Chain A
Amino acid sequence: MIAIDGLDVTFHVKNREIRAVQGVSFEVAAGESFGIVGESGSGKSTVLKAIAGLVPSISRRLEVDGQEAAARRSRADRRKLQFVFQDPYASLHPRKTVDDILREPLEIHRESDIDARVGRALSDVGLLPIHRYRFPHQLSGGQRQRVAIARALILAPPILLLDEPTSALDVSVQAEILNLLKRLRASYSLTSILVSHDLAVVAHLCDRIAIMQFGKLIEIVTAEQLRDGDVGADYTRKLLAASRGFTRVA
């Protein structure tokens, strides 16, 4: 479904070159849910944005839905892949109602039956009809993230990219959103890539997990391997130890 080979992303800031992603390769099969973990600045979100075409990248191969992705994506290309951003406070237009926000993708793709589909999308993500005509500032963080998820799924794309979808939310809401994502992934039979710094979240949602550090892919492990601590690289072990948290030294 998604195949990338030798992906490089370089940012030019003033006269400095920042090589955010260096030679990353992996493949994601149809229906698989793939995770990417790493600390801040490891380039994991940038990989996701490169797949979405939001940042310019160089690669030997960048396939989305079995087709080489062009640098300029067409409207049909866009439809195959949607994105959920990290911060639900920044990803919704502040002057548009939930209804406007959900209508937009359908109008862009000249779909029919817009009213009913917006209603269905809302109930799919567990929002009520009373939320439909509210502005984002009248919703809680979790509700906003539900709107963002509904917007991403309203075109029924085969691929969903999730960029730390829960890290801006508090813990109880995180669990709700994660369960929602798990349910929707099954009912929409989605292929998904989830980026997170939280090993527990990734292990809960993903089948295979890539570990990244300093823009490079360290290794790819399965969720069981991660849970059992059966990993190859030193860095992964360190990351696992760090995620278990503080251990008191006697």
Chain B
Amino acid sequence: MASQSLRQWLLTDAPASRRQAVLGGTYRGLTSILRNPTAMAGLVIVTILVLMAIFAPLFAMGKDPIAQDLAVRLAAPSAEHWFGTDELGRDIFARTLYGAQVTLTIVALVSVVVVPIGLAVGTVAGYFGGWVDAVLMRITDIFLAFPRLVLALAFAAALGPGIENAVIAISLTAWPAYARIARSETMAIAQSDFIQSVVLQGASTWRILFRHVVPLCLSSVIVRLTLDMAGIILTAAGLGFLGLGAQPPTAEWGAMVSSGRDVILDQWWVATIPGVAIFIVSLGFNLLGDGLRDVFDPKASS
């Protein structure tokens, strides 16, 4: 009964306040995600990843991801060690859980850096056009020309390996894609009547960009970001594999795969388990991104 009236309150075509209108819109978006099986699968996987990262100490049941026990090194999966142990006798189950924290940290930091830079450069270039556009887009092209892993290698060599430098290296090569999306979206709406009417009301350029242009670019940027997450996770894992990402003894999936490389035929679980984790999480983000694209696409929703 109560849930029925809440539903009605959310879906009413005559909301009584701004809050109700916004909540109703959010509710409609959520239900369309829930009705989309791919998006749901992705959402479940990503939610599990987030929960794993937050509650890693709880799920690991007191096992320390960096505690070594050479007596049980390279032990096969068992009741004691669900996913076995690695070459230093560390519990792989615990390490995989804590690895989610590192992955999530990298993903979150890259998003926080990349989205504002991409949006700022793209909307400014698209809105002003002319030489501003030309200059900003050539700079974007320059950054787009850097090979991601090679730049990361150079960074690690110059600043020393570590998560922060991996994030900087990934961000430096990831933002141009967002600038391009934001630019093309901005160019499509910059001359539209609803932007012109805000100009005529006397709004400042910054107000127009932040309050009117950016909200319309945001949905395609979010979709692109979700789809890019897989690539970011893979790059982070690749850096870890090469020893340039998170440093030992931090549990990081790429580094874990790397450490299992020597024993991959005899002790398969050491490299396989973190590999599967990378695979599932990348897949989850891809599914979620695909689903979000369907949800946000105004042509798809009636």
A148: B residues at CB distance < 8 A? 197
A78-B202, A104-B201, A108-B207 known; A93 and B194 CB under 8 Å? yes
Which residues, 172 to 219 on B, are CB-close (under 8 Å) to A?
192-194, 196-203, 207, 211-212, 215-216
A109 at the interface (CB under 8 A from B): yes
Chain A: CB-nearest residue to B212:
A93
Cβ-defined contact, A83 with B197, below 8 A: yes
Q: Which of B194, B201, B298 contacts A108 (CB 8 A)?
A: B201
Cα–Cα, bound, A133→B17 (Å): 6
A54 at the interface (CB under 8 A from B): yes
A75: B residues at CB distance < 8 A? 202
Cβ-defined contact, B18 with A133, below 8 A: yes
Cβ-defined contact, A135 with B25, below 8 A: yes
Mask, A91-131, CB within 8 Å of B = 1, is 11111010110001100110000000000000000000011
A-side interface size class: 35 or more
A100: B residues at CB distance < 8 A? 18
Q: Tell me, rounded to whole Å, the shortest Cβ–Cβ distance linking A139 to chain B.
A: 10
Cβ-defined contact, A133 with B203, below 8 A: no
B1 at the interface (CB under 8 A from A): no
A61 at the interface (CB under 8 A from B): no
Cα–Cα, bound, A94→B21 (Å): 13
Cβ-defined contact, A91 with B194, below 8 A: yes
Q: Tell me, rounded to whole Å, the shortest Cβ–Cβ distance linking A82 to chain B.
A: 6
Mask, A65-97, CB within 8 Å of B = 1, is 000000001110111011101110011111101
Binds A, one of B8-16, B54-62, B240-248, B280-288: B8-16
Cα–Cα, bound, A133→B198 (Å): 19
Cα–Cα, bound, A130→B15 (Å): 7
A90-B194, A95-B216, A133-B21 known; A108 and B200 CB under 8 Å? no
Cβ-defined contact, A130 with B14, below 8 A: yes
Mask, A188-204, CB within 8 Å of B = 1, is 00000000000000000
Q: Which of B16, B197, B201 contacts A85 (CB 8 A)?
A: B197
B196: A residues at CB distance < 8 A? 54, 83, 85
Cβ-defined contact, A99 with B13, below 8 A: no
B20 at the interface (CB under 8 A from A): yes
Which residues, 127 to 172 on A, are CB-close (under 8 Å) to B?
130-131, 133-135, 138, 148, 151, 155
Cβ-defined contact, B201 with A134, below 8 A: no
Q: Tell me, rounded to whole Å, the shortest Cβ–Cβ distance linking B168 to chain A.
A: 33
A99: B residues at CB distance < 8 A? 18, 21
A21 at the interface (CB under 8 A from B): no
A82: B residues at CB distance < 8 A? 200-201
Cβ-defined contact, B17 with A78, below 8 A: no
Cβ-defined contact, B14 with A134, below 8 A: yes
Which residues, 12 to 57 on B, are CB-close (under 8 Å) to A?
13-18, 20-21, 25
Interface-centre pick from B16, B17, B203 (highest chain A CB count, 10 A): B203
Q: Which residues of B contact A (CB under 8 A)?
A: 13-18, 20-21, 25, 192-194, 196-203, 207, 211-212, 215-216, 298
Q: Which residues of A contact B (CB under 8 A)?
A: 52, 54, 73-75, 77-79, 81-83, 85-87, 90-95, 97, 99-100, 104-105, 108-109, 130-131, 133-135, 138, 148, 151, 155
8 A-B Cβ contacts within 8 A? A73-B202, A75-B202, A85-B193, A85-B197, A91-B193, A94-B194, A95-B215, A97-B18
Which 7 pairs, one residue from A and one from B, show the smallest C-beta to C-beta distance? A78-B202, A130-B14, A91-B193, A133-B15, A75-B202, A133-B21, A85-B193
